[in-house]
Chain A
């Protein structure tokens, strides 16, 4: 084969390769947006059921829908975050489309198992499958459905693991190892700070490290849950199980947000025409976040009297500080990037900045929940749903939608309508406030039936949730229609 032939072949290969990359990301996004919309309908139904004016729902169904909403939202958030991260990472390293596709297929199998266990098997123990609740159904759901749910989560974990391993290997091949991907050699002065080192690689390295650890713990704790379901005599320590479940769950959902940040790092500089490069504070922040994301989950256990006080205090301190490093670097970096840059405000840029705002402001309810005294009375109220809806509706999802908008306008600025973003943001803020106000009024979470004096907040939530849904559809429908025409290459 002559040299020219070889080159033209490889160019063709890389073209189809690139096309496959993009098509897969489109597939992820399309499925993701559809699932988001469906799960939002479920969420609106939950709030409406609590409001009791627009909807009357059997409590048993309520808990099934709550489990579905939780598992569905966590799953789709993971997938969407992964898609964003994968798209940008494949600009810097060589990732396998086959693995990305198999992960999607595996996820769909997992989703079928999870939905089946909830809708057919009536499993309703919440997506956190908090031990030993799955085994104590009082006859409402069968052991088999609880096992199917846990096995579904296990399959989902394997799907993510495949992609993370592929990413880890690709980063290691190009940069040497994961800590070099994270830029530790530059942080600790063994090499000068290389401003061409991609921010996405730093973020991806961190996400891989924490999430593989999370999935490893999940793989163990899910099998222990299944063992307990099959043989109730095997009853692991409940506090240890809770630690592991929340390590897995909290790391997973946190990592999804940190994955989506790559959209901000990669797209916002194009709008402001200023570079966003790595620096020592940036690297230090991501290095610190690697540990903190893994250590922050104990705020779920501050109410457990069996926890030793020192552990609770450590949990509070880490809850306080965990959000800060990357947040400060990113929010501050984002602001300095946008300030007087002459940025064009369209759907994409405003969604990304909204995402930054949600991520930054979401720290406030989080830190309040992380205080032991407050946590003791507030953790079982709607304050906590308020806290994570803040992060997810105003932080994570806008970043994903902003990325989708960027993709479908093929990077052209000022082409997308930003009115739906206002609708979305207004609905999102109202919804989160309806939760937070409920929480501060000590309205318990996970209650199917609400007292009459609480019901107006449920109604506000339902209306606000509908607004979010409308906003999402207004943003997403044009995206879905234009998605097939997107051509912006994913691979290098």
Chain B
């Protein structure tokens, strides 16, 4: 078996992976509520916010992913959203805006100090980033999806590099050594995701006509 076959198999697996393999929205919703509750309680907040790594690379991603997974609007809300944002552009702005907002060291610091900002984080991250991402994914065409993924990847890379390069302690709540560790981790994430994306786009099978299972699942979705 040569490398091409392996790549093909791996990316075919990735390609066949469908949204319905995600946990059910109800489970996700329960998990999200749990994570938010833990985030509010002093002990939980302390645990999540005690280190930059758990704060940025555990709590925030958890909130984003659970927010995206549990997103399941009722028909009324859905038709309202379709009417005001048919192409997902407003969701894109919302998503980018909140991403930028929570990438600012200032807000990360304030979330550890001020309970109101902490609450804002626990609400705005799942909704403003997670749900908006899902809506945007649902509404936009393939090119825009790729642009969103591309820009998100680029931002992770930029942030990682900035954290490593900055001689300043960007977050007053975290030591500079920790900042550099988070930077390194962000670059590792960026490297892995870039590799996956390259393999997926180069070797993935997108020829839907020849793939009956895929054709079926697309018509369902």
Contacts and interface: CB of A to CB of B under 8 A. Distances in A.
A and B touch in the complex (CB under 8 A): yes
Interface of A: 96, 99, 158, 161-162, 165-166, 168-169, 172-180, 184, 188, 190, 209, 216, 219-220, 223-224, 227, 231, 233-237
The B contact surface, by secondary structure, is helix
Interface stretch (B18-26, B90-98, B156-164): B156-164
B208 A173 contact: yes
A441 B142 CA distance: 53
A82 to B, nearest CB: 15
A176 B206 CA distance: 5
24 contacts: A161-B147, A162-B143, A165-B142, A165-B143, A169-B142, A169-B206, A172-B204, A172-B206, A172-B207, A173-B207, A176-B207, A177-B201, A177-B203, A178-B202, A179-B202, A180-B207, A184-B4, A216-B154, A216-B194, A220-B158, A223-B158, A224-B165, A231-B168, A234-B167
B150 interface: yes
Given A96-B143, A190-B4, A209-B202, A175 B207 contact: yes
Q: Which 3 A-B pairs have the closest CB atoms?
A: A172-B206, A176-B207, A219-B154
The A contact surface, by secondary structure, is helix
A177 B147 contact: no
Nearest to B141: A96
Contacts of B165: 224, 234-237
B123 interface: no
Contacts of A175: 207
Interface string B164-186: 01111000000000000000000
Contacts of A234: 162, 165-168
Contact of A173 (B151, B158, B206): B206
Contacts of B158: 220, 223-224, 227
A438 to B, nearest CB: 39
A476 B168 CA distance: 55
Contacts of A237: 165
A158 B201 CA distance: 18
Nearest to A99: B143
Nearest to A213: B198
Interface residues of B, number: 28
A142 to B, nearest CB: 23
Given A178-B202, A209-B202, A233 B142 contact: no
B72 interface: no
A75 B220 CA distance: 43
B30 interface: no
B205 interface: yes
Nearest to A237: B165
B191 to A, nearest CB: 12
Q: Which of B158, B203, B206 is packed against the most chain A CB atoms within 10 Å?
A: B206
Given A162-B143, A234-B165, A168 B150 contact: no
Contact of B204 (A99, A177, A233, A235): A177
Nearest to B158: A223
Contacts of A179: 4, 202-203
B119 interface: no
A169 B154 contact: no
A15 B207 CA distance: 26
B146 interface: yes
Contacts of B147: 158, 161-162, 165
Contacts of B153: 216
B193 to A, nearest CB: 12
Given A99-B143, A169-B142, A190-B4, A233 B157 contact: no
Q: Which of B202, B203, B204 is packed against the most chain A CB atoms within 10 Å?
A: B202
Given A169-B142, A233-B166, A177 B202 contact: yes
